[in-house]
Amino acid sequence: MTLPQRRALVASPTPPAQAAAAMLADAHDWVAPQDAELIVALGGDGFMLQTLHAMLERRKPVVPVFGMNLGTVGFLMNEWRAHGLDTRLERTKPFKVVPLAMTAVTVSGETVSLPAINEVSLLRETRQTAHLEVTVNDRIVLPELACDGILVATPAGSTAYNLSAQGPILPLGSNMLALTPISPFRPRRWRGAILPDKARISLRVLDPAKRPVSAVADQREIRDVAFVEIVIDRTRELTLLFDPEHALDDRITMEQFVA
């Protein structure tokens, strides 16, 4: 790729990420993130999500992000190396990631809209099991799901919380969403669904007073929700850059063979 000249360097507040940022500080004339044509992010997967969400919140044209792992898992990141950054950026492989748009209505009537890059999850707030009605494209598919919660995951997020909840891994570019229950109690045999990403998914809390439920869009939580609608937002496409030997699509595929 042709290297953009206006690049921003952002780093997690952790000591390893800050030390790495200091090493790269003189490698380029960095600009502020809002003025950049490309962002280099240092940290873990959580910091990468924060960086992507910050761009979405500015509602300006989003720019590609090249992440280097100074965190724990680093699934969305490349390997940290202090040298040869320009050469690596020239060889990167871009991957498009389309976020979810969550619209939640609380018990008090407040409406909150948030994007989610990995997943939207509904979770019980107390010891009481959540009772949810599940609707897909205006058709009620589960009149009552008794569970700890439920989540909707994108392909990029299917190897995160979704996988921990025994959900399917979705290949990048599959144009699918995973609808995965969390500790379902009834119906006992329902283990989730794979839906086209053009589907509109609605989740209604059946007894929000007795069985309160929160909605979480990646890292942001809305308490005491009564109704949540989730759709793909194709107007806010994101681009992640990866070293060819550590491309995101290959990582997602290989996760299916991890013991």
Which pair of tokens denotes residue 243? Answer: 């070293």
Interval 7-16 mean pLDDT: 96
- Examine residue 1 and state whether it is found in any structural domain, yes or no: no
> Does the annotation mark 197 as catalytic?
no
At 1, is the pLDDT very low, low, confident or very high (cuts 50, 70, 90)? low
- Examine residue 177 and state whether it is found in any structural domain, yes or no: yes
Interval 224-246 mean pLDDT: 94
- Examine residue 210 and state whether it is found in any structural domain, yes or no: yes
- Examine residue 2 and state whether it is found in any structural domain, yes or no: no
CATH of the domain at 124: 2.60.200.30
At 219, is the pLDDT very low, low, confident or very high (cuts 50, 70, 90)? confident
256: number of Cβ within 10 Å: 11
Interval 223-245 mean pLDDT: 95
- Examine residue 84 and state whether it is found in any structural domain, yes or no: yes
CATH of the domain at 26: 3.40.50.10330
Q: Looking at the structure, do residues 229 and 105 belong to the same domain, yes or no?
A: yes
- 119 marked ligand binding residue: yes
Q: Looking at the structure, do residues 28 and 79 belong to the same domain, yes or no?
A: yes
- 148 marked ligand binding residue: yes
Q: Looking at the structure, do residues 133 and 220 belong to the same domain, yes or no?
A: yes
pLDDT, residue 52, reads 94
Q: Looking at the structure, do residues 198 and 224 belong to the same domain, yes or no?
A: yes
Domain region containing 15? 7-98+237-257
- 90 marked ligand binding residue: no
Q: Looking at the structure, do residues 140 and 62 belong to the same domain, yes or no?
A: no
Q: Are 205 and 58 in contact (CB under 8 A)?
A: no
- 156 marked ligand binding residue: yes
- Examine residue 204 and state whether it is found in any structural domain, yes or no: yes
Q: Looking at the structure, do residues 30 and 59 belong to the same domain, yes or no?
A: yes
- 162 marked ligand binding residue: yes
Interval 34-59 mean pLDDT: 92
pLDDT above 90 as % of the chain:
83
pLDDT, residue 61, reads 73
Sheet of strand 149-153: strand arrangement: 193-196, 176-182, 149-153, 119-124, 213-217, 220-222
DSSP per residue, the chain: -PPPS-EEEEE-SSHHHHHHHHHHTTSS----GGG-SEEEEEE-HHHHHHHHHHHHHHTSPP--EEEEE-SSS-TTSBPP-SS-HHHHHHH-EEEEE--EEEEEEETTS-EEEEEESSEEEEEESSSSPEEEEEEETTEEEEEEEEESEEEEE-TTTTTTHHHHTTPPP--TT--EEEEEEES--BSTT---EEEETT--EEEEES-TTTS-EEEEETTEEE-SEEEEEEEE-GGG-EEEEE-GGG-HHHHHHHGGG--
At 259, is the pLDDT very low, low, confident or very high (cuts 50, 70, 90)? low
Q: Looking at the structure, do residues 128 and 231 belong to the same domain, yes or no?
A: yes
pLDDT for residue 171 is more than 80: yes
pLDDT for residue 15 is more than 80: yes
Q: Looking at the structure, do residues 120 and 134 belong to the same domain, yes or no?
A: yes
Q: Are 125 and 223 in contact (CB under 8 A)?
A: yes
Q: Looking at the structure, do residues 14 and 123 belong to the same domain, yes or no?
A: no
Q: Looking at the structure, do residues 192 and 247 belong to the same domain, yes or no?
A: no
What is the pTM (predicted TM-score) of this model? 0.90
**Active site residue: 26, 35, 45, 86, which one?**
45
Q: Looking at the structure, do residues 140 and 53 belong to the same domain, yes or no?
A: no
Q: Looking at the structure, do residues 85 and 123 belong to the same domain, yes or no?
A: no
- Report the number of distinct structural domains present in the chain: 2
pLDDT for residue 68 is more than 90: yes
Interval 139-144 mean pLDDT: 97
Write out pLDDT tens, residues 177-192. 999 999 999 998 899 9
Write out pLDDT tens, residues 240-258. 999 998 888 888 888 888 7
